[in-house]
Structure 1
């Protein structure tokens, strides 16, 4: 499966480029608003991603910023691509945040999970059991849509050039009974299968490792082929909110945390052996 450009990534790149051109032109938001007859908040909202930028907006901005012909052409293309629909838009009611759009074009995904199997490695039965536990009010149709959305996400592992997926799982993830023994046995078997995938590295962080750098909870680091165009992101989720962090000190902190987790976890070979023993604990 070929990789399809992500509108979410294109929109982010467009905002960053517009901000870069404004800085190069030596203008502040108030200057831009005055020259274009806009309210100051429109400039800020465009650059922060809180307002969709139109083709006319881009044309007015690049003209004001005295962008080169090549820059104008590139930004016009980005604006067109940013307005396209990603496959995840069809599931906007059950995929409420922008994470999937950023995940869709990542070249590397480094994830620490302390509670659940990461979505890209979940079986359908595990998905349904976790929905039932976490969404007591979800009806059958909503549950089916959530399942369909999560299964669709997994297609990126079948891309012609899939992302490098590196997962550190707390032992609690495979010990906690989700959906019953048969569901867990199949899920652990899926994890063992993933260990054989050359684009996946999976490590288990056993209870015996003791305290570690990520006691505060799970996180995901998304990396891209061109760090200058698309800087690394850190994604954090809890019951009431999600965060996407892109400031270099924040990203560096989570990268270091992930390095510490990898060092404390079992190596990939021993992790596979550990999972095989866990699977035997779940009866057929």
Structure 2
């Protein structure tokens, strides 16, 4: 059977936005379906789909696809006139089945990971709290290979190399023309003191790379010092992925089986508040760079 990508995260984002707009319009599913059918009858559009409450429910719950033209019809029915909102949601519908560059690696990239890469490619911002390892968007090639090999316990050497290629290819969002991804990363100091047996150069190169990207205008980098006061970061790593326009943010949490998604508005708000508290506890940008320089100096070879 040929591979058929299922961009579930894009569909969920679109469905959630459409549900919210319908609710704001004060319509039940049945009322919305009746209004859509009445508008089609008046326009004489005999080729348009017949709307029903179950069909709308399937779209809102990401169990059915919806075309960009149908999204436009839904938005008109819900009284949505803002050009930015309309463009964002119609664009999301067009992209729902889009094949990304990562599909080339479908033999090693699990569906949940492919979903995350699609999120990252659509995003305008990422806020990342990393207590144990440097965030993937900031990793050097050797650091990526070593950390992937340590976690990919059931992977072959060739699969590890392919996953490292994917991780490095993801970093293109930081330098994409016109609108680079805005990355705000808070890394725990413990992650920066990692030792690679027999390869001290790996961490030195990684620290030097962090110093370089810390000066990029699209990157905000902070270090959470080891002696920091207790804070929400004690609960573990997470990533907040933000989108333009009306698209709700998404939270991801990583484990050995891949990313887990948090998408409810109230739940995402908890993580956004937590990130703010973590960032307030972390070192400011200039102090972060001073610490990085100090760590590089301590790792410099002696003669």
Q: Under a length normalisation based on structure 1, what TM-score does the superposition of the two structures give?
A: 0.80
Counterparts of 1:12 and 1:281 in 2: how far apart (Å)?
47
Counterparts of 1:122 and 1:11 in 2: how far apart (Å)?
30
Q: Is the 8 A contact 1:127 1:147 kept in 2?
A: yes
User: What is the alpha-carbon root mean square deviation over aligned residues?
Assistant: 3.5
Q: Does 1:53 align with 2:72?
A: no
Distance 1:212 1:67, change over 3 A: closer
Q: Which residue of 1 is the match for residue 184 of structure 2?
A: 166
Specify which of 108, 111, 120 is matched with residue 96 of structure 1.
111
Consecutive unaligned residues in structure 1, runs of 5 or more: 1-6
Q: What is the DSSP-based 3-state SS (H/G/I as helix, E as strand, rest coil) of the residue aligned with 1:214?
A: helix
- Matched ranges for 1:107-122 at <5 A: 107-122=124-139
Distance 1:27 1:260, change over 3 A: closer
Q: What is the DSSP-based 3-state SS (H/G/I as helix, E as strand, rest coil) of the residue aligned with 2:266?
A: helix
Counterparts of 2:207 and 2:150 in 1: how far apart (Å)?
19
Counterparts of 1:76 and 1:118 in 2: how far apart (Å)?
32
Consecutive unaligned residues in structure 2, runs of 5 or more: 1-6, 38-49
Counterparts of 1:77 and 1:224 in 2: how far apart (Å)?
13
Distance 1:54 1:255, change over 3 A: closer
Counterparts of 1:81 and 1:283 in 2: how far apart (Å)?
47
Please state how far the C-alpha of 1:150 moved relative to its aligned partner: 0.7
Q: Which residue of 1 is the match for residue 40 of structure 2?
A: none
Counterparts of 1:152 and 1:94 in 2: how far apart (Å)?
13
Q: What is the DSSP-based 3-state SS (H/G/I as helix, E as strand, rest coil) of the residue aligned with 2:93?
A: helix
Specify which of 210, 216, 222 is matched with residue 203 of structure 1.
222
Q: Does 1:248 align with 2:265?
A: yes
Residue by residue over 1:242-263, the C-alpha shift from the partner in whole angstroms, topping out at 9 and shown as x without a partner, is: 3322323222221221111111
Specify which of 197, 212, 224 is matched with residue 193 of structure 1.
212
Q: Does 1:275 align with 2:287?
A: no
Q: Does 1:16 align with 2:16?
A: yes
- Matched ranges for 1:11-160 at <5 A: 11-16=11-16, 18-20=18-20, 23=23, 24=25, 26-28=27-29, 40=54, 44-49=57-62, 51-53=63-65, 55=67, 78-92=92-106, 93-97=108-112, 98-160=115-177
Q: Which residue of 1 is the match for residue 243 of structure 2?
A: 224
Distance 1:250 1:55, change over 3 A: closer
Please state how far the C-alpha of 1:99 moved relative to its aligned partner: 1.4
Q: What is the DSSP-based 3-state SS (H/G/I as helix, E as strand, rest coil) of the residue aligned with 1:104?
A: helix
Q: Which residue of 2 is the match for residue 3 of structure 1?
A: none
Q: Which residue of 1 is the match for residue 232 of structure 2?
A: 213
Q: Is the 8 A contact 2:232 2:278 kept in 1?
A: yes
Counterparts of 1:115 and 1:60 in 2: how far apart (Å)?
42
Q: Which residue of 2 is the match for residue 4 of structure 1?
A: none
